[in-house]
Chains A and B, each alone.
Chain A
Amino acid sequence: GAGVSQSPRYKVAKRGQDVALRCDPISGHVSLFWYQQALGQGPEFLTYFQNEAQLDKSGLPSDRFFAERPEGSVSTLKIQRTQQEDSAVYLCASSLGSEPTYNEQFFGPGTRLTVL
């Protein structure tokens, strides 16, 4: 079966541009997470969806970051007016149940964002 997919795999943006990163979770997975991973560091939580509801967005670093999952499947992370400090790998993960921290998370390959 297909795993979690993300697109694009690589994105280069000029400072000030808007970008949109897409995540296709495993079909039927209720929970969806976005993480930001800097080089040499572990993932940092950004936001969590349970179906289409965004239940936790406390990790989003600024109001330039926005995420949605309108139909409870595909999710998009949008970053407006990108800054150099936004350069990182953005990881999406999904899990089957609605108790997200009690279940294995399945990760996509990530989108490497470079802001020039």
Chain B
Amino acid sequence: SQQGEEDPQALSIQEGENATMNCSYKTSINNLQWYRQNSGRGLVHLILIRSNEREKHSGRLRVTLDTSKKSSSLLITASRAADTASYFCATDPRRSNYQLIWGAGTKLIIKP
């Protein structure tokens, strides 16, 4: 069963614009991770945010976490063609020590 749900399912924007993706989850978590998947490089870790953090930055990426709403957002600024990929959030529900539960992903297309 999937814990996270990404929104929107698909997003198409012009190069240079910002892209925002959202993730909602169901149960309390220890942390939340964002990954990117494209055909060239497979699944790659982007950023991990802990349940006691509210915001985290990494280069052009900004992640927020609202544990009261059980939601997270990933913002990619100044998008590039190479950002075209599917983006997944993964959470570790506190009931499990080992499992990451993944959403179905947001498919992002950057138009040149």
For window 7-59 of A, CB contacts with B under 8 Å fall at 33, 40-45, 48, 55-56, 58-59
- Where chain A touches its partner, the secondary structure class is mixed
- B97 partner residues in chain A, CB cutoff 8 A: 55-56, 100-101
* CB atoms of A101 and B31 under 8 A apart: yes
CA separation between A45 and B98, bound complex, in Å?
Answer: 9
* CB atoms of B31 and A102 under 8 A apart: yes
> Per-residue 0/1 for B26-49: is the Cβ within 8 Å of any A Cβ (1 yes, 0 no)?
000011010000000011110010
CA separation between A42 and B90, bound complex, in Å?
Answer: 9
- Nearest chain A CB to B30 CB, angstrom units: 6
Closest to A107 in B: B43
Known contacts A42-B88, A101-B31, A110-B42: A48-B104 contact under CB 8 Å: no
With an 8 Å Cβ cutoff, the count of chain A residues facing the other chain is: 24
- B88 partner residues in chain A, CB cutoff 8 A: 42-43
Known contacts A101-B30, A101-B31, A102-B30: A44-B43 contact under CB 8 Å: no
- Nearest chain B CB to A48 CB, angstrom units: 4
* CB atoms of B42 and A109 under 8 A apart: yes
CA separation between A59 and B102, bound complex, in Å?
Answer: 13
Residue numbers of A with Cβ under 8 A of B are: 33, 40-45, 48, 55-56, 58-59, 91, 93, 100-102, 104-110
8 nearest interchain CB pairs?
A: A42-B102, A101-B92, A107-B43, A48-B98, A104-B45, A56-B98, A45-B99, A42-B88
